[in-house]
């Protein structure tokens, strides 16, 4: 009898799967190598957890932690700066097995907000902490506070200065509304090469002082991961430094349940990247997992979600989505999105993918 039970448990083990993203945006050519290198490191860390018998939550936390520590990405060190020149971080981690969730937002003195989110998930009756309260909770459970300057890199100081000079010239900021004008909409519908050329032209004109930068073209937004472990449980996590020159205290979609992140074994696990305000208005993460629960494949639901984001609010972004059987989908309507997949068959990664 005992042998039969053990045999049944072994037979029920699933093949783990990990999918991650490092942000959907108009990534320049000279940023591709760094993004692919960072994605590879994150995949290795997450897969080490999964292949060693760890949980999906373990794998997601491990992968996202690596990307938070890599200043290539807009998460942790190297994030965009707020309007007043500081880093404010948001993160969410969710377990699909029991819907346990932990989120933090507007933290300034934690190197790895995804680890703080894990503490909230496991050690608090609450779901979400912000600001000083989140930092206090994290320190009470063993995390070390750092100075905010440790999260700031020179590249982002320069980027903020350029943006604020451009903003002072009166160019319309579409970062938050996500409402594109006709010309921008046509650019989105164009090929990736055409959008890249237009982005380069905009940057060149801005340098010459003849045109102000569209901040949405300079966004290296958000990191995230979804995973299924050998026990068949799903998890999702998303972490971000937010949008360039955001108002202090602004919270985007990344750390909000059902917006930039969600996981439920009965539907799917999802992480999104892109313009936060349109994603929040559509509760797009939950919208996508509900499509999987209704019978769509993860790839179909991913593509539909990004199409819906643009159709309803002119939004730009990307999505990774995993069903309860470990099948997954990826989609984006930006020129590029850093992504990676790890299975027992090996790793795949790239900077463009829809399918």
Catalogue the active-site residues: 222
Residue with tokens 């591709």: 32
Residue with tokens 């995804």: 114
Written as six digits, the tokens of 31 are 């940023």
Written as six digits, the tokens of 253 are 């979609």
Non-local CB neighbours of 4 within 8 Å, separated by 6+ positions? none
Written as six digits, the tokens of 124 are 């608090």
Residues in the chain: 355
> Reading across the β-sheet that carries 128-130, which strands appear in turn?
128-130, 101-107, 89-95, 234-240, 223-228, 17-25, 336-343, 346-350
Residue 316 parent element (H or E): none
Residue 58's region, left for phi above 0, alpha for psi from -120 to 50, else beta, is alpha
Strands 223-228 and 128-130: unpaired
Angstrom distance (rounded) from CA 119 to CA 196 = 41
């Amino acid at each position: 009898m005992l042998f039969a039970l053990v045999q049944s448990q072994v037979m029920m083990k699933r093949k783990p799967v990990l999918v991650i993203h490092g942000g959907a945006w108009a990534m320049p050519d000279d940023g591709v190598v760094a993004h692919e290198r960072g994605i590879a490191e994150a995949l290795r860390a997450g897969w080490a957890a999964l292949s060693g018998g760890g949980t999906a939550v373990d794998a997601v936390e491990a992968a996202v932690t690596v990307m938070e520590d890599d200043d290539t990405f807009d998460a942790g060190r190297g994030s965009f700066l707020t309007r007043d020149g500081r880093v404010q971080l948001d993160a969410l981690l969710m377990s699909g097995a029991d819907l346990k969730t932990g989120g933090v937002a507007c933290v300034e003195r934690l190197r790895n907000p995804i680890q703080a989110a894990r503490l909230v998930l496991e050690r608090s009756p609450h779901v979400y902490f912000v600001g000083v309260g989140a930092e206090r909770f994290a320190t009470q459970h063993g995390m070390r506070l750092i100075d905010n300057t440790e999260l700031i890199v020179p590249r982002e100081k320069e980027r903020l200065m350029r943006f604020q000079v451009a903003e002072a010239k009166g160019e319309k900021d579409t970062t938050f509304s996500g409402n594109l004008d006709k010309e921008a909409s046509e650019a989105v519908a164009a090929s990736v090469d055409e959008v890249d050329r237009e982005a380069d032209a905009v940057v060149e004109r801005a340098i010459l002082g003849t045109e102000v930068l569209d901040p949405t073209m300079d966004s290296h937004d958000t990191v995230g991961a979804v995973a299924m472990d050998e026990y068949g449980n799903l998890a999702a996590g998303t972490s971000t430094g937010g949008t360039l020159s955001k108002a202090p205290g602004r919270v985007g979609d990344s750390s909000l349940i059902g917006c930039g992140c969600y996981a439920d074994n009965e539907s799917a696990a999802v992480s999104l990247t892109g313009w936060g305000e349109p994603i929040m208005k559509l509760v797009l993460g939950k919208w996508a997992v509900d499509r999987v629960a209704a019978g769509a494949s993860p790839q179909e639901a991913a593509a539909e979600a990004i199409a819906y984001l643009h159709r309803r609010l002119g939004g730009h972004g990307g999505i990774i989505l995993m069903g309860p059987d470990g099948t997954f989908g990826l989609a984006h309507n930006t020129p590029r999105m850093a992504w990676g997949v790890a299975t027992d068959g090996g790793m795949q990664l790239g900077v463009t993918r829809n399918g």
